[in-house]
Every structure is written in C-alpha cells, then in structure tokens.
Amino acid sequence: MKAYRAALLWFAPHDGGAVRARFEQDGLLVVGPNAAGTQVVLAIGEFRTVHDAYPLVVVEHLPERIIAPGFLDMHVHFPQVNVIGSPAAGLLPWLENYTFPEEKRFEAPEYSAQAAHVFVAELLRNGVTTALAFATSHPESVNALFSQAQAKHMRLMTGLCLMDRNAPDAVLNRCADVGSTSRAEQSLIDSEELIRRWHGTDRLGYAITPRFALSCTDAQLRGAGDLAARYPDVWIQSHVAENQDEIAWARQLFPQSRSYLATYDDFGLLRKRAIYAHCIHLDTADRSLMHETGAAAAVCPTSNLFLGSGFFDYLGADSAGFAYGLASDVGGGTSFSPFHTMLAAYYVGREGQAKAGLSLSPQHLWWQHTAGAARALGLEGVVGNLLPGCEADFLVLNPKATPLLERKTSLAASLDELLFSMIVLGDDRLVERVVISQAL
C-alpha cells in the first residue's frame, strides 16, 4: 500500500446522477492490492481526512504536481505510426497511397515487434494508459501488439483486421490453401484462435475488427457477427460514416441496408462494447440506432480535420443519448497527445455547431478522454477515473512543464481555467510520470 500527496483531479457523480470533475488542491491518493492482487485506488480526497484513515501508509509528496487518471484512446492504428503526417486528397487515396503499402510490412514478425515497441512507448509517453487499437490483417501484428502491451502491464484491446476484398492482396486476410479455405473463413478461424489466446489474459481484451464494411464480403461480416454472438464480452471496432465518398460506396455494396451504419446492425455488429470511429454523417435514425443498441462513437477530431471529413455532431449525439469518447486515430490523426486531441475536439464542437453556440467545457473535454471514454468502452469503474476500486492507472502532471504553461496556469482562477490552459498549451512534456496498475 502506498499514498501520493498532490493536487488531485478525478470525476464523481453529483446531483441528478451527472458526472463532473472534482479537484482537491492538497489531496491524498491511496493505492493498494484488491482481493485479486491488482493495484487499485483505495481512497481519495483531502489530505488530512484520508491520512487520518490511513495513518501508517507511506506517503510520497509531489508538491506543485497534479495527479489525474490515465487517458484512454478509443481508436488508434498501431501499424500507422510511420503514416502520420502523410499528405493526401482524402481518406480513400490516403489509404491507397500510404496506409496499405505500410501495413503489408506487418506480415514480418520482427517488423511487427519493433513497431509495437515504438507504438506502446509513444502511447505511454503521452499519458495514454488504455487503448482500443487496430492491428493489421496479419496475425503476427496482433500477437506483437498484445505481447508488448502485456510486457508493459497496459490495458489494451486489439484484434485481427478483417478485410477480404477491395484492397491490395498483401493486406487482405490470408488463405490457408488456395481453393480450400476462403479468406473470410480463414480470417474468422484466425480471429477465434486469437480470442482464445489473448482475451482476458492479464489486462488484455480482444476486439473483433472489420476494417470497415467496404473491405468485407457479406460472408465475412456475417461470420464476424456470429463470432460476436459466441463471445459477448469481447469488443467490436470498425469505422462508419467518415466521409461522403465512403458512404456512397457503402450504399452501392449494401443496397439492402437502410444506411451505412445499419449495415453493421444487419450483420449483428451493433451492441454494447461495439465502438465505431468517426460517426460524422449520421442521420436521426442512425443516432437512435446507436442509442438503442448500446454502441458508442470514437470521436477523432484531429483526423477529421486533417482529412477534411467533417465535424462530429455533439448536440445530435447528446440528444439521442448514445455514448462517445475521444480518440487520436493515428495515423490519420496528427498526434498521440490527448491534449492536442482535446483541443481539436473543442474546435470541432465550435465549428460543427456554430449556429447553436456550442462550446465544450474543459471539464467535459477531459471527461471525454478519461471517465467518459471508459463508460463508452464498458469499462466504467475500472479505468479512466480515480474513484475507489478503479485500477491504479494515473499520471503525474507538471503544470509548470514549460515557461508559458507555468505563467498561464499560475493565473488560473478556476478549475476550468486550469484545465483549459493545459489543454491548449500542453503536450507530452506536461506528463511527468505514468503509473500503471500491476498485479502483485
């Protein structure tokens, strides 16, 4: 058991059941093992009150620092570290010219392992302690990413990228033997083997991963839905309604479906723990479908701005009542930094809903990348917060990390001013230390 004395930021229910940020200028966070031996939060609050309840605990004092929950990234592409910052006219040419040529390299176990080392290190360096990530269509990439996350005791979900059409052969799912097992059949066999090997091991979870409906035949999507039904506690991840060209193509490929989003529902792929990246161009029926099925949106503002895809409709999402959280979407996204992502979300909220006068509060932006993302992922009370019982993933932030940050944060007269200063001016330098929960 150990305690940390610093300023504390976390999220807690208040009147009406809503959640808001809590901030304790002189606080104490106590962590220790639960019955299973996992390091969790035992107590949090004002220093003197908590210390009186734990008088013998060893206290590490971190003056002028802020302890906050580790960030969650709801949608990020492991094989696209080298693709970040590549110029393109839009999503589809960006995939063809940059992404697919890079992803074919992940068939090599050595290349996948080296890339996984860089990817996990970059997430942690930026304060991301939980991630839902895409791998490639090669089992080697999935095994490499799980292995590296396991070595770092990181909570991470990923899965084999399902794609059996509309891409170069080198990035389509493999065939065991030509003429015997189809790509669709083999991809589902490979996925189930990976589920059995990795799902629920340490802090790892499997995600059934159709790249997007456009890359999958009906047989592959149907098989993915059957797999999801057999393993109801795994995640599902894909893309939907990112841009108009993609939507028009989906309409051609799946004319029987009411909409692009409804295609996934038609194949049994909308439910709780189903995370769909982007969700920009949804109509009222789509938003209702998200709510009714329990699916959630991964909002990817830097990617959407970079590729000119559009603006996530925050007001529409809140009106329909479906869950969402923030994501970097590297490498279409332009930064691993949650601070850059939160600032881009602020721009998206302002620009996308300018007539309604929407302005996302700093507390809400931070919630989208922590406790809100955990709720959307089905991990509320597990990660993304510092309430008692949560796994002890947290960050030590230095609000004086740069001269300008020190100057601006010292002038903050409220929690919103403090958080917004860090959102606007922060980057990886703000993250002084990352603490990951480990089993004893």
Convert 418-427 to b/e letters by CB count within 10 Å (16 or more is b).
bbbbbbbbbb
pLDDT at 351 over 90: no
d(CA 435, CA 70): 8
Residue 23 has pLDDT above 80, yes or no: yes
Residue 294, C-beta contacts closer than 8 angstroms, at least 6 positions apart: 270, 271, 272, 273, 274, 323
67-81, 179-193, 256-270, 396-410: range with lowest mean pLDDT: 179-193
Round to whole Å and give the CA distance between 99 and 80. 7
pLDDT at 311: 94
Q: Which helix (H) or strand (E) holds 23?
A: strand 19-33
User: Band of the pLDDT at 16, cuts 50, 70, 90?
Assistant: low
User: What is the mean predicted confidence (pLDDT) over 51-62?
Assistant: 97
- SS3 percent helix, strand, coil of the chain, rounded to 5, is 45, 25, 35
pLDDT at residue 163, rounded to an integer: 97
Average pLDDT over every residue of 213-223: 97
3-state secondary structure of 216: coil
Identify the burial level of 152 via C-beta atoms within 10 angstroms of its C-beta, where 0-12 means exposed, 13-18 middle and 19 or more buried: middle
Q: What are 416-426's pLDDT values in tens digits?
A: 999 999 999 99
Neighbour count for residue 320 (Cβ, 10 Å): 18
Q: Do 212 and 239 meet the contact criterion of CB atoms below 8 Å apart?
A: yes
pLDDT band at 19 (very low <50, low <70, confident <90, very high): confident
As a three-state string, the secondary structure of 153-189 is: CCEEEECCEECCCCCCHHHCCCCCCCCCCCHHHHHHH
Domains and CATH numbers, the chain: 2-69+384-435 (2.30.40.10), 71-376 (3.20.20.140)
On average, the pLDDT of the chain sits at 94
Question: Of 156, 153, 173, which Cα lies nearest the Cα of 164?
Answer: 173
pLDDT tens-place string over residues 158-191: 999 999 999 999 999 988 665 667 999 999 999 9
Choose the weakest-confidence range: 58-72, 84-98, 193-207: 84-98
